[in-house]
Amino acid sequence: MKTNIFPAIKLTIVTLIFFCVVYPAIVWAIAQLAPNNGQGEVVTANGKKYYANVGQKFNEDRFFWSRPSAVEYNAAGSGGSNKGPSNPEYLGIVQARIDTFLVHNPSVSKKDIPVELVTASGSGLDPDISPKAALVQVKRIASVRKVSEDKIKQIIDSNTEKPLIGMFGPQTVNVLSLNLALEKL
């Protein structure tokens, strides 16, 4: 028994030191190289501070709508809804989002609504949508703001982020950047 218990205790102590001290110190040191020392990408506009890398709630007709959040955009408690795709409550929530979107965007058919506009992301804090999800909202925004659709499409094009090295990941558009650009019109 002594031949097994002492190595197990030593391994436990080494593992605790590594995962409780060394590893967090390495992650913290790497975060210091990130913008704003790993505290998030802060954008100041109109005297207000926003985090560009955390989803914000935009649901007014004059703005691009954000991806829904299962945690009400609370960065302190990120997470998904944990309801499966066949859960009746979840299906009801998604259907309500579809109905709301169609009321505010009558020119869009149900089959043309991108999935990210009616389902929350795994973290509930996704700040980006696809260019398709932005383009499907153009007619509504142009009508409310009384601006040409081409001008809105130019904003989408200028804020579209390409995949990493042209091949890793999808094209995305940051909703906060789009809406700040709209406010500058």
pLDDT of residue 160: 92
pLDDT higher than 90, residue 16: yes
Residue 122 lies in a domain: yes
Phi-psi region of 166 (alpha: psi -120 to 50; beta: other; left: phi over 0): left
pLDDT for position 80: 77
Domain-embedded: residue 2: no
Q: Token pair for residue 40?
A: 């998030």
Maximum separation of any 2 CA atoms in the chain, in Å? 80
The residue count of the chain comes to 185
Q: What is the pLDDT of residues 65-92, one digit of tens each?
A: 999 988 888 777 777 778 888 889 999 9
pLDDT for position 54:
81
Beta bridge partners of 50: 43
For the chain, the domain total comes to 1
Q: Which helix (H) or strand (E) holds 173?
A: strand 172-174
In this predicted structure, what is the pLDDT of residue 44?
A: 78
**Domain-located, residue 21:** no
Euclidean distance between the first and final Cα of the chain, in Å?
75
- Domain span at 101: 51-184
Q: pLDDT at position 63, please?
A: 93
Task: Give the pLDDT score at 94.
Answer: 92
pTM of the model: 0.77
169 vs 17, residue with greater confidence: 17
Q: Which of 62, 60, 50 is nearest to 127 (CA)?
A: 50
Give per-residue pLDDT as tens, 89-141.
Answer: 999 999 999 999 999 999 999 999 999 999 988 887 888 999 999 999 999 99
Residue 93 lies in a domain: yes
Contact 153, 131 (CB under 8 A): no
Burial class (CB in 10 A: 0-12, 13-18, 19+), 140: buried
Answer whether residue 3 is part of any domain.
no
Residue type, 138: V
CB 42 within 8 A of CB 36: yes
pLDDT at position 82: 81
Helix (H, G, I), strand (E, B) or coil at 17: helix
Q: For residue 164, what pLDDT band results from cuts at 50, 70 and 90?
A: confident
pLDDT digits (tens, 9 = 90+) for 23-77: 999 998 888 887 777 777 777 777 787 777 888 888 889 999 999 988 888 777 7
Q: Is residue 92 part of a domain?
A: yes
Is 119 within a domain? yes
- The residue-averaged pLDDT of 159-170 equals 86
pLDDT given at position 169 = 86
